[in-house]
Chains A and B, each alone.
Chain A
Amino acid sequence: MISRLARHLTLRLAFFCVLAAVFVWPILSQAAHINEFRDVHHLFMYERSAIDTIRRYGELPLWNPYYCGGFDAVGAPQTRFVSPTLLLGLLFGAERAEILTVFFFAVVGMEGMYRWLRLRVTEPLAALVVAPVFALSGQYAVAYHRGWIQFMGFELVPWILLGVTLAARRKPSGIAIASVAFATMLGFAGFFAAPLVAVAAVFEAVRALSEEPRSARVRSVAMLSATASFMATVAMLRLWPVAETLMSAPRIMAGTPGHAPKALLSALVGVLALKDGNTELSGSFYVGAGFLALIALGTHHRSALTSVIIAMICGWLAMGYASRISAFGMLRELPVFAAIRYPERFLWLGILFASAPVAGALSRVPYIGEGRKWRFGTVLVLAAGVCWTVGGEIAAFHRVALGREMGVVTEGRVADFRQARGNRWLTVHLESQNIGSLSCYETHRLSESTLLRADLPAEEYLAPDSADAGTVKRRAWSPTKITLGVAVSRPARVLVNQNWAPGWHATVGKVVSHEGLLAVDMPAGAHEVALTFLPWSTLGGATVTLVSLLALVLIGLRARRRREIFSRRQAVATSLLVLVPWLVAGAAYAASPDDEWPSPLLTNPNGSPAVVHEGDGHVATRAGAVFSLPLRIEEGRVTGPDEHQSVLVDVYFRRLAKIPKSTTMFVHLERRKDEPPAAKDHEDFYNADHQVVGGSFYLSDAPEGGLIHDAFGVRIEKAAPGTWDVWVAFGHVSGKKGRSLVTSPGEATVSDHRVRLGTFVVR
């Protein structure tokens, strides 16, 4: 009977709501406070300023002036207000909305899991009991503790997979479900989840296709293609602006993160606890040992095979570079996937796919034996195992959520917005004062003008070369509209102490980028000029989203009458409806009146250019050594040690042909062997290997043939006195290990296929 009741939506929702309420209950009393964890500050401030912009100024929060000198808020990958959860913020305020968002996402996640499990598990009760395991798993506790509320968007992954399978089964509702869920996830800042979703969706699509009869597979592939297309176009409101941002300021990730199987096991079954105010890997994906035992129990049946294989592949991906053949490393060779940082997040997908065999075990094991007692007993034991798991997850959430450092935001806004030096570790406390923070951190490089100042008497002023031409006065200010009174005797440039971005327009004069600063070239005379931010990427993206939703409605209406939307008679009409959003997107892109972002500045961490020209005046020692990879070190220089016990290394090299992304520069700082032995607390070796030039581009993306200047500092605080050599070589960070051979030493000293770049002396 319980099984029959589980089929009813309202009863399931009652169960999930109660569970979600237990999940968040102790934290509700802290709802008016904010989490003071470091990452929270900019992430929470994004949401708070969006809500403030709507409530206080009655504007759409398209521009955020409160951080890093201002940026396109819709185009920022980590803003989460382009989603229905914004309504919670508008109703209850940003602080109180946060835990409510967790509550609603948990309910949505459990219902999504139930529906997705039911695609392959016939027993409703089994799906009902297992659904919370993924939706309440340990990583949500970690995310909440760190203020990564946007990670709650992972709760939509089961919905996307549900849509994918339904589409493969040629049900048009699948296209709508996957598209809307994906668009909501991206609107809720799901850009970290998106690459993982792509992997999961491919697994799911392949599995769903394999389950279909051969005769129907062509139509299923057409349905899946339409699903992929609509997932992109419905999400275009977010995808277009974010793509524009990331192309102007790409996220570069390097390194070879990896975890041994034992570490991953501890992430799944270990106790999630706080250490020094943060969570560790142990317990960070907590599902408990009982859940793993249930997976093992579920593998007894053939139907569990694909789920188990997919879960194991996810486990392999989660190992990162720790496995001999790295699936994660191979994935990172792909363009978008190169920016993934944490391989262990694939455990999330592993838990999701492994939930199917567990539900299978719950639905089948009671029927292995005979008699009511056996059935009742096994159901009780298995359900108790899952309840134990979910109980452990809830306890873990409470433990880390209640261990957060809590603070309060005090309102006290200055009348006139201004930029401050600020502090990105406390930035939400500045936004509440109507003050911007130039101190800035994001996971990608932001286009930030070096002319921004935190000490100006006025935020809008005449450029130095026209400072004597007249006056500028602020008449009105809001985040997306600045009105100025400008009186100038000759054409003059007005500078605004915020970043320029495509989408700023002026009612008089012409908006320009003044070394990255927002500026407007004004004609002579007295004018009132309004600067407004309305980017074409958001307008165009919103139009494509609307057209896509309309096309989906039309497809839905046609499907009610004709069921198969890719039958021979319907295929052309359906294909046209799939293509229409792309045609609108193409037309909108071609019609864009906005200026484009300039190419990203390629610099080293010390600000020096990373791509230089022969004869630009740099002084370095000639090397001319050629490697088999093919790279040539042209020159090198070693400076220091300086007063901070650091040396500066400058390497000038060229990439002569295509090289793999895994290419790494090995840098060894080595004390000469003929020096007397180093004292115990002294070092005689340092290494500064790297895969990325100055945080700007991978070695493999260096302009072919161009002269690359790679400048980096190495701290040698404990270096033993004596003469040191700096050696440089090339090789691979993963896969084929070992050094590339020096095929021609040129004028350089070579040892062990390393080129000596220079020397320094430690006294």
Chain B
Amino acid sequence: MDLPAQIAGLFVALATTALVVGRAATAPAPPPPKHVSVEDRAGFASQIASQEDDWRGKAAKDFPYDTWSQRDAFHGHEATAVKEMARISGVPYEEVLRAIDDDLHRADGNRRRPARNVNAVPVKPRPIFD
């Protein structure tokens, strides 16, 4: 009596696993992203750049004399802005991030705005997290 039960058990285990794997493997993929024009990208980059001084000021106020925390807070503000910008424009986050990066890699852009956090501030997690 046990052998048929064991075979049935094996079948149920395998069938369930196959069902789960199948459903995960065939879950609908996201729709293809919307293309962004060069002008749109330039717009994203300049919008971000125009807010950076404000974010730096807020971060300096929130985390006095703590360079990594200030930088991290800056990026926290930036992430919120990137998400919002992408949501309004209906484009993937990647497009906005690429626009910022392209802007920072343009030599003339850097001459225009000398301090744009393009250096690394080594991570120094706060020993007590709030």
- Residues of chain A touching chain B, judged by Cβ–Cβ distance below 8 Å, are 4-5, 8-14, 16-18, 20-21, 24-25, 28-33, 68-69, 92, 96, 99-100, 103, 251-255, 341, 407-410, 412, 418, 420-426, 429-430, 432-433, 435, 438-457, 603-607, 642, 644-648, 690-692, 695-696, 711-715, 717
Chain B residue with Cβ nearest A716: B64
Question: Are B94 and A429 within 8 A (Cβ)?
Answer: yes
- Given contacts A32-B28, A69-B120, A426-B79, A433 and B20 within 8 Å (CB-CB): no
- Residues of chain B touching chain A, judged by Cβ–Cβ distance below 8 Å, are 2, 5-13, 16-17, 19-21, 23-25, 27-30, 33, 57, 60-69, 71-72, 75-76, 78-79, 82-83, 92-94, 97-98, 100-101, 104-105, 107, 110, 116-129
Chain B residue with Cβ nearest A455: B118
When distances are taken between beta carbons in the complex, the residues of chain A under 8 Å from B79 are: 423, 425-426
In the assembled complex, 25 residue pairs joining A and B whose CB atoms fall closer than 8 Å, in A order, are: A13-B13, A14-B11, A17-B16, A24-B20, A32-B29, A33-B30, A69-B120, A96-B25, A408-B30, A408-B92, A410-B33, A420-B100, A423-B78, A423-B82, A425-B75, A446-B122, A451-B120, A452-B119, A454-B101, A457-B107, A606-B67, A644-B60, A644-B61, A645-B61, A713-B64
8 nearest interchain CB pairs? A713-B64, A713-B65, A646-B64, A10-B9, A425-B79, A11-B9, A14-B12, A408-B30
User: Complex Cα distance A180/B23, Å?
Assistant: 30
Chain B residue with Cβ nearest A606: B65
Question: Are A605 and B30 within 8 A (Cβ)?
Answer: no
When distances are taken between beta carbons in the complex, the residues of chain B under 8 Å from A5 are: 2, 5
User: Complex Cα distance A455/B114, Å?
Assistant: 11
Question: Are B27 and A10 within 8 A (Cβ)?
Answer: no
Question: Are A32 and B10 within 8 A (Cβ)?
Answer: no
User: Complex Cα distance A92/B75, Å?
Assistant: 32
When distances are taken between beta carbons in the complex, the residues of chain B under 8 Å from A695 are: 124-127
Question: Are B69 and A426 within 8 A (Cβ)?
Answer: no
Kindly identify which residue among B16, B66, B120, B121 contacts A14, using a CB–CB cutoff of 8 Å.
Answer: B16
When distances are taken between beta carbons in the complex, the residues of chain B under 8 Å from A28 are: 20, 23-24, 27
Question: Are A443 and B125 within 8 A (Cβ)?
Answer: yes
Question: Are A605 and B65 within 8 A (Cβ)?
Answer: yes
User: Complex Cα distance A304/B83, Å?
Assistant: 53
When distances are taken between beta carbons in the complex, the residues of chain B under 8 Å from A16 are: 13
Question: Are A452 and B64 within 8 A (Cβ)?
Answer: no
Chain B residue with Cβ nearest A406: B30
When distances are taken between beta carbons in the complex, the residues of chain B under 8 Å from A456 are: 105
Q: A17-B12, A412-B33 are in contact. List 11 more A-B contacts (CB 8 A).
A: A9-B6, A10-B7, A16-B13, A17-B16, A20-B20, A28-B20, A448-B120, A448-B123, A453-B119, A454-B104, A717-B61
> How far, in Å, is A109 (CB) from chain B's closest CB?
15
Question: Are A11 and B5 within 8 A (Cβ)?
Answer: yes
User: Complex Cα distance A252/B23, Å?
Assistant: 42
> How far, in Å, is A569 (CB) from chain B's closest CB?
39
When distances are taken between beta carbons in the complex, the residues of chain B under 8 Å from A69 are: 120
Kindly identify which residue among A96, A252, A421, A692 contacts B116, using a CB–CB cutoff of 8 Å.
Answer: A421
Question: Are B65 and A421 within 8 A (Cβ)?
Answer: no
- Given contacts A420-B104, A455-B104, A29 and B28 within 8 Å (CB-CB): yes
When distances are taken between beta carbons in the complex, the residues of chain A under 8 Å from B65 are: 604-606, 646, 648, 711-713
When distances are taken between beta carbons in the complex, the residues of chain B under 8 Å from A430 are: 94, 97, 101
User: Complex Cα distance A624/B83, Å?
Assistant: 53
Chain A residue with Cβ nearest B123: A440
